[in-house]
Amino acid sequence: MAGKEVVLSVQDLSITYLTRRGRLQAVSHVSFDLHRGETLALIGESGCGKSTLNFGLMRLLPKNANTDTGKIVYTDRAGQKIDVLALNTRSLRKFRWSECAMVFQGAQNSLNPVIHVRDMIYDTANAHGLNNRGEVRERALELFRKVRLDPERVFNSYPHELSGGMRQRVLIALGLLLNPQVVIFDEPTTALDILTQRSILNVLRDLKEELGFSSIFISHDLAVAAEIADTVATMYAGEIVEMGPVNDIFYEPRHAYTLGLMEASPRLSVGREELDGIPGSPPDLVELPTGCKFHIRCPFAIETCKTTPPQLEQASIGHIVACYKSSEVLEKGKELRSVSSTARVARLS
Ligand SMILES: Nc1ncnc2c1ncn2[C@@H]1O[C@H](COP(=O)(O)OP(=O)(O)OP(=O)(O)O)[C@@H](O)[C@H]1O
Ligand SMILES: [Mg+2]
């Protein structure tokens, strides 16, 4: 993505929640640039801060959350730079949906059952100043066609008349209604069966091609992310620990946690009957461990990892990693791949 214009630039973003037990560090010093037309996948286990990070980008954090450090700069179509953290309520309203939209995690299961799909569309359009019903209807039908729904039927349905996959497509279309430059998809395929997952991924790929928006695609599944992403960022305990072009991350992971996610993925880890997953569980974000936050679970950990947090460093072009043992991880990954390469290739094709 080098050379392409940056649409969204996030620098040193940290977000905490105030909880009964104290401050919970959900996002720690996260930085990345999202380029025009790029899909950035954020991957990591449950609770690593993926949704919080994106709520932070959209300024949709709940009251007990605080953005402690960081800067979010959005560049609009006219090339004007917008300081997202400084937007007032009115400008925020325009920013959301028209510039940057989010398809929320699990939303397909929490749609209001007594509101028609068409009214959801009209209400959203209305809230953003699009009052011409005829035009809104045309735009919605066109988007429904693009997400491969039967436009007329779905437009006039109630959510409960649609399957989970169809509801997710409606939400994707709704997210695109105001033609945003950036779309955040929070776990859009989770909880859907494998065929529906596949068709949603195909729809997203086609939409991205046709409409050219940039997106952040959140998933806990590296295999799913790899199908759609240009760039992959691995998050662990609120931090980005590795980030790079999809093929680098997929074929040459350098952080033990990324390698662990790969081995824990049922569609990627082959040659073994049982999946080990990653032993242990993520740390308590209220009382974070010293050193590398992953060291307790890491098979590569050395003494330094317990005391001194590794910094993100460049490993190859566009590929950064925060791990003292990244060379060993890379070698281990290659070894595992060569053991199971035949079966792996068979599965991926
Ligand atoms: N409103 C809240 N108040 C306090 N803590 C919260 C709140 N929302 C999330 N958290 C905590 O912040 C951390 C990050 O949560 P977040 O939902 O961002 O993770 P996630 O990576 O999106 O997980 P998942 O894959 O399960 O969706 C977790 O420890 C979670 O318990
Ligand atoms: Mg989440």
In tens, the pLDDT along 25-43 reads 999 999 999 999 999 999 9
- From 42, 45, 51, 218, the mutation candidate for ligand 1 (largest count of ligand atoms within 8 A of CB) is 51
The yes-or-no verdict on residue 273 having pLDDT over 90 is no
The yes-or-no verdict on residue 161 having pLDDT over 80 is yes
pLDDT digits (tens, 9 = 90+) for 175-201: 999 999 999 999 998 888 889 999 999
- Pairwise pLDDT comparison (271 vs 60), residue with the higher score: 60
**Mutation choice for ligand 1 from 14, 16, 52, CB with most ligand atoms inside 8 A:** 52
Q: What angle do CA 193, 205, 318 make, to 5 degrees?
A: 110
What is the structure's pLDDT at 342?
53
pLDDT of residue 274: 46
Confidence of residue 263 (pLDDT cuts 50, 70, 90): confident
pLDDT, the chain, mean: 92
| Ligand 1 centroid – CA 44 distance (Å) | 12
Expressed in angstroms and rounded, the spacing between residue 52 Cα and the centre of ligand 1 is 6
Q: Is 221 helix (H, G, I), strand (E, B) or coil?
A: coil
Kindly identify the ligand whose nearest atom is closest to the C-alpha of 281. 1
Beta-sheet strand order (sheet of 239-245): 100-103, 182-186, 214-219, 39-43, 231-236, 239-245, 319-321, 313-316
pLDDT at 343: 55
pLDDT at 347: 53
Q: How far apart are the first and last CA of the chain?
A: 25
Digit-coded pLDDT (tens) for 296-317: 999 999 999 999 999 999 999 9
Please choose, from the candidates 72, 68, 16, 32, the residue with its C-alpha nearest in 3D space to the C-alpha of residue 241: 32
Give the rounded percent of residues in the chain with a pLDDT score beyond 70: 93
Tokens of 25: 């560090």
Q: For position 278, what pLDDT does the model report?
A: 84
Q: Whose CA is nearest to atom 29 of ligand 1?
A: 47
Q: Is 109's pLDDT higher than 90? A: no
- Closest to 48 in 3D by CA, of 238, 301, 229, 314: 238
pLDDT of residue 269: 54
Length of the chain measured in residues: 349
